[in-house]
Amino acid sequence: MRCPYCDKRIPRDSVLCPLCGFAVWGLDPPEGVPTGGGRSTATTRSPGFLWYVAMALLASALLSATVVLGLFALEHGLDVRRARASELGQEYYRRGVAHLEEGNYLLALAEFKEAVRLDPHNSEAREQLGILQELLGEEVVSSAGVSPEAALDLYGEAWSLHAQGQWSETIVRLEELRGLDPAYRQVEVEEMLLDSYHRQSMLLLDQGELEKALSLLDRALELGDEDPQASEIRYSLSLYLSGLSQWGVDWERAVEAFQVLYEVNPSFLDAELRLHDALLRLGDLYHAEGAWCMAESQYAKAVRVMPSEAASDKRDEARDLCVRAIVEATPTADPSVVVTETITVTVTPVAPPSEGGFVGEFLGHSEADDTEMRIRVCVVSLAGQGVPGAGVEISAQGWRSDPRATDAEGCCEFAGLTEELEFTVELTDLPSIPVQVVTRWGTETLVNFVER
Distance CA 442, CA 266 (A): 19
Query: What is the pTM (predicted TM-score) of this model?
Result: 0.45
What DSSP assignment string belongs to 334-388? Answer: -TT----SPPPP-SSPPPPPTT--EEEEEEEEEE--TT-EEEEEEEE-TTS-B-T
Give the bridge partners for 386, in sequence order.
Answer: 380
Measured distance between the N- and C-terminal CA atoms of the chain, rounded to whole angstroms: 144
* Strand, coil or helix: 400: strand
Distance CA 26, CA 22 (A): 12
Q: What topology is assigned to 148-226 in CATH?
A: 1.25.40
Other CB atoms within 10 Å distance of the CB of residue 41: 6
Is the CATH code 1.25.40.10 the one for domain 71-143?
yes
Is the CATH code 2.60.40.10 the one for domain 358-451?
yes
Q: Do domains 148-226 and 253-328 have the same CATH topology?
A: yes
* Crossing angle between the packed helical segments 186-206 and 210-222, to the nearest 10 degrees: 160
Q: What are the extents of the domains in the chain?
A: 71-143, 148-226, 253-328, 358-451
Backbone angles phi, psi at 423, to 5 degrees: -105, 145
Is the CATH code 1.10.3470 the one for domain 253-328?
no
Helix (H) or strand (E) holding 445: strand 443-451
Helix count and strand count (H, E) for the chain: 13, 10
What DSSP assignment string belongs to 38-103? Answer: S--SS----HHHHHHHHHHHHHHHHHHHHHHHHHHHHHHHHHHHHHHHHHHHHHHHHHHHHHHHTT
> DSSP character for 404?
E
Cα 114 to its chain centre, rounded Å, is: 37
Query: Could you tell me which of 226, 163, 160 has the C-alpha nearest to residue 194?
Result: 226
> DSSP character for 23?
B
Per residue of the chain (452 residues), what is the pLDDT tens digit? 677 656 667 666 665 565 555 555 554 444 443 444 444 333 444 455 555 555 656 655 555 554 444 444 445 544 555 666 677 778 878 878 887 887 767 667 777 877 887 788 888 888 888 887 777 665 555 555 555 666 777 788 888 888 888 888 888 888 877 777 777 788 888 888 888 888 888 999 888 888 888 888 888 887 777 778 778 888 888 899 999 999 988 998 999 999 999 988 899 989 999 999 999 999 999 989 888 888 888 888 888 888 888 888 888 888 888 877 766 655 444 444 443 333 333 334 444 444 568 999 998 888 877 777 899 999 998 888 899 999 999 998 778 888 999 998 899 999 878 778 889 999 998 998 999 998 888 888 999 999 88
